[in-house]
A and B are shown apart, each in its own frame.
Chain A
């Protein structure tokens, strides 16, 4: 027992310095003014940003949903291939992340522009150009592209542990494809789904830069405002912290809802 405790000490110290302490500072700043006196003003000012919060959460949720729908079959297919192929496919999934995030988002700007790659291609086919850049659509595309690997990897690591014989057994007993998915795969991969959603939703909701590069900077997301309060022109740690705090609470609420759904899912899967 004590051995375990000693082994976890470095992590505990790390958590204390880099997670607990900064979190405490965020809370401190959120509830004080520039002179350090206690106030609720910062939190009350958040009301001005309610629409931005709503849009950020909606776009983040949409991106997460698209990631989930796209990643689920991919992760399943990867998990059913041979070991060698699996390694290669996982590496290919991760590969875009070796390139700088900004550079990748810049590339998407060139892809989605009115005279960008997609529209040039459509032009070759004699089709009308589609306006995509500087819209919410482009922002969601940027989120999906940047965060997709964070959905595939956790799903894959759970699915690869699902015993092939369980699926075969279900099929032998007469389950059709949908039933196998609904009653075997889904419940068994639920932990991966929850992890994936967390890993995509959290950065997507709080993202900045994507909205500036792909959204044309006309409609900032909550991450852009927070950035502006910390390292932008409007340097104000107090309001910035209040925004961060409210964002954290909202994300926790969203995660709690996902967690509940997940538990129901598991119950339904096993019981029914």
Chain B
């Protein structure tokens, strides 16, 4: 393969700079003792202190993490079971209908999802707040889990199941000792994606959250609407750090899972 020309290198570098500049810009000014994002006075950590001293913000942070973890967990369970069920359907037409329905929420604009869930919750009388937010997050994370698990299930050799059955495994054994370990990388990927979907969601949460309950995205939105506050900058510095750590962690987990599954196959 040819080496990249100087022009292409410059192009890539510019794209990377544009992608990262706003993020580093935010983090840079989080250390600004002046109150604005354009005039760096001197280095300070007071905005980080403000984040940790703002108990309301901490509660919101905890809420966000709880919603993400719970919705990730529950949607992973329902989605994985659903994927196993879909694969077992023999009727190709039925299977395709389910798969198309599965994709509806993935391609739907989040405003539409938010608005329709708002109608739904109001109709069946669910109080807007933690429950409605959690249920919505579970609802829009399920299809992505299914899409992550499905390919793993499809590439699995059916004779593995037959072999296990022949060797006297019960149905439960087949599920827990053969199918689940095999599709584990897909399940992990689904769980991580569900987590990011939940953490990143703004529009759906914005619609179905009531007055008393707020997640980070919604809170940042209302803070940003009132103008610049360097507390948000400090928050983004922390979030960036956590994101990078999670990405590195995910990278290692994914790599290890790959190596383990390769060893199993050997």
Is A bound to B?
no
A residues in contact (CB < 8 Å) with B: none
B residues in contact (CB < 8 Å) with A: none
